[in-house]
Chains A and B, each alone.
Chain A
Amino acid sequence: MGNYRFHTPDGVNDILPEECRTKRALEQKLRTLFSTHGYREIETPGIEFYDVYAGDRFIAQENLYKLVDQDGRILALRYDGTVPVARLAATLFRDAPPPLRLSYIENMYRFRESGGGRQREFCQAGVELLGLSSAESDAEVIALAISAALKIGVTDLQISIGQTEFFKGLMEEWNIPADDAEDISRHIDQKDTVALEKAAARYGLSETEKETLLKIPALFGTYDTLSDFENRVNSPRAKAALKNLREILDILDDYGYTKYVSIDLGMLRSLDYYTGMIFKGFTYEIGFPIISGGRYDKAVLAFGRDLAAVGFSMSLNLCMTALRRQGKEPAPLTTDAIIGYSTEPGLRRLALEMAYRMRKEGLAVLVDCEGMTEEELSDFAEKRKIEQVIFLNADSCGCEEEEKK
């Protein structure tokens, strides 16, 4: 060991031609989708100041790749798309009138993630909608995430939508302090009913309140779930959250996307970060969510501008793994034709002209540069599964081409 010359570091890998082609095709589909929805693509630097991420406490320092610059300042590799966009919105876009619709397709770097299809370097496509806080804007982003998944062929899709304000409102109503609420949210997120029952006893919740608490991780549905909880809570904050979800469902119905979505109020992560609706997207054959999104109205505020924000990101690597395992792989990459020529003068020019014309039509064409004979060329084409073999010799000078299958 010790000779790392032949290896790539843990969690990163080379992308070979077939996969690379697939990835580019997905990227192109998403790029078109985002731009036709009015989202303008940006690139942010691969290296940010560490403070950009550390400043808002949202991302634990051990998850960041860190470097030190020549002046001793700590840098961090791009961890996600949202934080750099929040920085932009508060700085370069300071005077841009809201709403802002931005998109990105970029590699992210996460120090601790590895395995199960999760890489330390992976490509995320995502959008941010800044300056709007309506249910319409929530629904626009969810619908765009669904469209994105469908567009790239992930049709077995389930989107779970939650609302962090519902939980926060409920905790207020029950007078549970913030630190303990954080613990309870973790138990709910893990569907750990044992711990929840203990918590209910500790805070002296009534029998109905305990029932409500235990229902949060257990129920998922659509309008029925919302109605059930609407009758169980009094807090205006929690009620507003449920109303927001009801509106989102109504709007997604207008998109024709009802069948993909369900409500899961037990989805509670990063309560400091999310300030409203949150959602995740799932498909078969991959153990992790492929889509993650939500509302984070304080993310831009961390950079000094009070601007509402909602967005989502989709992991292209996970999507590609899922599509492959679901047997939805595109046809293998092929070369359409190869052109060879004998040594008579003028034939090379003819071969190059022919290749030029075919390539213009979008065919993938090789021109032999090893001086292969006609038989060698046929052999080569057969081995490489090249469909069309063209060999030019003295007879083809009159611009006839000899074709062989």
Chain B
Amino acid sequence: MTDMITIALSKGRLAEQAIDLLEAAGYDCSAAREKSRRLILEDEKAGLRFIMAKPADVPTYVEYGAADIGVVGKDTLLEEGRQLYEVIDLGFGACRMCVCGPAALKGKLDQIPNKRVASKYPHITRSYFEGTKRESVEIIKLNGSVELAPLIGLAEVIVDIVESGQTLRENGLDVLEVIADISARVVVNRVSMKMKAQTIMPMLDAIRAELAKRNEPKEEVSSL
């Protein structure tokens, strides 16, 4: 008997890339391709059920076992801090989690006492400043357009993901410190990994094989 596997995808580009990958790995994802507003897309024959969730909710679905597998950015994983198996780095959706601020602050970050830091990622911010830098800061939680904060004096610096750095530059900001490299990850519920191992392990192997195939021609770029 093969088990029905529920996969939680982060709505948007990440979901599409994940579906492409799964299909290339030999899984029928036509259910997930359906253009509709439905949030649960099921293909009983393929034994797959897809749920389209807000990225920040994917780790939650997987931790609670509502989904067996999830595809989600490392940024969300770091922020949510859930008890999951984080099994594969998919490589796509690559960016960096950074401390950013006015270019003038470059190299001088440690000289500002009692910093105010604005971010969509309060947990990552806290663990970076308190854990890694051993420094207490005031964290201001924002929900978007975080770049505004240092421009209008709400905060000295921000913690945010940086892809190309375009938005930063246009607003006269720069990367001051890099906290972590981010990319999409496959996560698995801890119980599903045991109870549905016969279905999940081959799926993970197929994904790894497909990734290896994609990376073959070019040399592997060593990360930071």
| Residues in A whose Cβ lies below 8 Å from that of B85 | 190-191
| A284 close to B86 (CB less than 8 A) | no
Q: Which of B130-138, B146-154, B161-169, B189-197 contacts A (4 or more CB under 8 A)?
A: B189-197
Bound CA–CA A403/B217 (angstroms): 86
| B194 close to A160 (CB less than 8 A) | yes
| A287 close to B84 (CB less than 8 A) | no
Which residues of B79-93 have CB atoms within 8 Å of chain A's CB atoms?
84-89
Instruction: Give chain B nearest CB distance to A62 CB in angstroms.
Output: 13
| Residues in B whose Cβ lies below 8 Å from that of A116 | 63-66
| Residues in A whose Cβ lies below 8 Å from that of B194 | 158, 160, 262, 264, 282
| A284 close to B63 (CB less than 8 A) | no
| Residues in B whose Cβ lies below 8 Å from that of A282 | 191, 194-195
| B63 close to A193 (CB less than 8 A) | no
Of chain A, the residue at the smallest CB distance from B188 is: A191
Bound CA–CA A156/B1 (angstroms): 14
| A287 close to B86 (CB less than 8 A) | no
Which residues of B186-212 have CB atoms within 8 Å of chain A's CB atoms?
188-195, 197
Bound CA–CA A220/B89 (angstroms): 21
Bound CA–CA A115/B192 (angstroms): 18
Of chain A, the residue at the smallest CB distance from B181 is: A194
In the A-B complex, the 3 residue pairs with the smallest Cβ-Cβ separation, listed nearest first, are: A287-B65, A116-B64, A191-B85
Contacts A116-B65, A282-B191, A287-B192 given; 13 further ones with Cβ under 8 A?
A: A115-B64, A116-B66, A158-B195, A190-B86, A191-B87, A193-B87, A262-B194, A283-B191, A288-B64, A288-B190, A288-B191, A289-B190, A289-B191
| Residues in B whose Cβ lies below 8 Å from that of A10 | none
| Residues in A whose Cβ lies below 8 Å from that of B192 | 287
| A286 close to B86 (CB less than 8 A) | no
| B195 close to A284 (CB less than 8 A) | yes
Bound CA–CA A115/B64 (angstroms): 8
> What 1/0 mask marks residues of chain A from 179 to 217 whose CB sits below 8 Å from any chain B CB?
000000000001111100010000000000000000000
| Residues in B whose Cβ lies below 8 Å from that of A192 | 86-87
Bound CA–CA A262/B65 (angstroms): 21
Instruction: Give chain B nearest CB distance to A273 CB in angstroms.
Output: 16
Of chain A, the residue at the smallest CB distance from B208 is: A193
A286 partner, pick from B60, B191, B197, beta carbons under 8 A: B191
